[in-house]
Amino acid sequence: MSTGTAVERATLPRGVTDRQRLKQVLVAMTRGMQQMLVGYWAVMLVAFLVVGIVIQLATGGVDSSMWDYGTQSPKYFSMAIGVTLTPAFFAMLVAQGVTRRMYSLAAGIYLTGAAAATSLLWVLAYQLEHALYAWQGWPDKLNNPHLFTSTSQVGLVFLEFFLLILSHEVAGWLLGITFVRFGFWLGVLMLPLAVLPAAAAEFLLVAQWLADLLNKTGYHRPPLAVAVPSVLVVSALGVYAGHRVLEPMALKPAKG
């Protein structure tokens, strides 16, 4: 399918601009994924900020941040978000005249927005927990290494989770595309390439559970001035790589 400008515009209904069509695609993605995201956030808030604290109180008292135990969850959930996009939306949207280029652009915007929203949730939950712990006189010691040393460092909290979540979303985006395009067996063989954005972010940021393992090997995080743009560049390249794999893909590819 050609993605030339003239062909793309010819596929749009009369009076509909590229910007309007892009907005419609983003709305479709947002509404389609809304239940998945909201359900996850609700479960996490209840499980860690309510049930987790109750369990700590019942087993000897609160001595550390309960919310910090869940730091791995948003990365792997967000990878599932990326995996879901192509099988859920690609064929439906392209069949309605959305170009592959516009679909990929919308996916990149959506993944960035979802990463920002989930990171903001993590920031707010840390602040809520800190206020509760301060009121009760509980220590809110962090259980994992981070870019931040205190949850009051809101900018670093947001930055760490945004970069890790975005990179894992992009890895999921590549996983979903490769399995849909090439089938199961080739998809499995391409796993190491698909997860490169997530792996790069882990090694560039050295935060959360992997940090202790890496530090024991003598490896240390590069300066944030290098790490942050590097993660963003790798993530952007991952979205572009997914687009290039999608460009020649038929709506009903052969399955392996």
Q: What is the DSSP letter of 232?
A: H
**In whole angstroms, what is the distance from residue 241 CA to residue 253 CA?**
18
* Average of per-residue pLDDT values in the chain: 86
pLDDT in tens, 170-212: 999 999 999 999 999 999 999 999 999 999 999 999 888 777 7
**In whole angstroms, what is the distance from residue 59 CA to residue 63 CA?**
11
Q: Which of 160, 162, 235, 166 is nearest to 205 (CA)?
A: 160
**In whole angstroms, what is the distance from residue 256 CA to residue 253 CA?**
10
**In whole angstroms, what is the distance from residue 77 CA to residue 124 CA?**
18
pLDDT in tens, 18-30: 888 999 999 999 9
Q: Say if residues 194 and 171 touch (Cβ distance below 8 Å).
A: yes
pLDDT in tens, 136-164: 888 888 988 899 999 999 999 999 999 99
Q: What is the DSSP letter of 49?
A: I
pTM exceeding 0.85: yes
The one-letter code for the residue type at 249 is: M
**In whole angstroms, what is the distance from residue 145 CA to residue 68 CA?**
10
Q: Which of 106, 101, 97 is nearest to 12 (CA)?
A: 97
Count of beta carbons in the 10 Å neighbourhood of residue 138: 20
User: Which residues contact residue 97 at a Cβ distance below 8 angstroms, ignoring those fewer than 6 apart?
Assistant: 11, 12, 13
User: 83 or 221: which carries more pLDDT confidence?
Assistant: 83
**In whole angstroms, what is the distance from residue 146 CA to residue 207 CA?**
5
Cα distances (Å, whole numbers) of residue 222 to 167, 189, 211 = 17, 30, 13
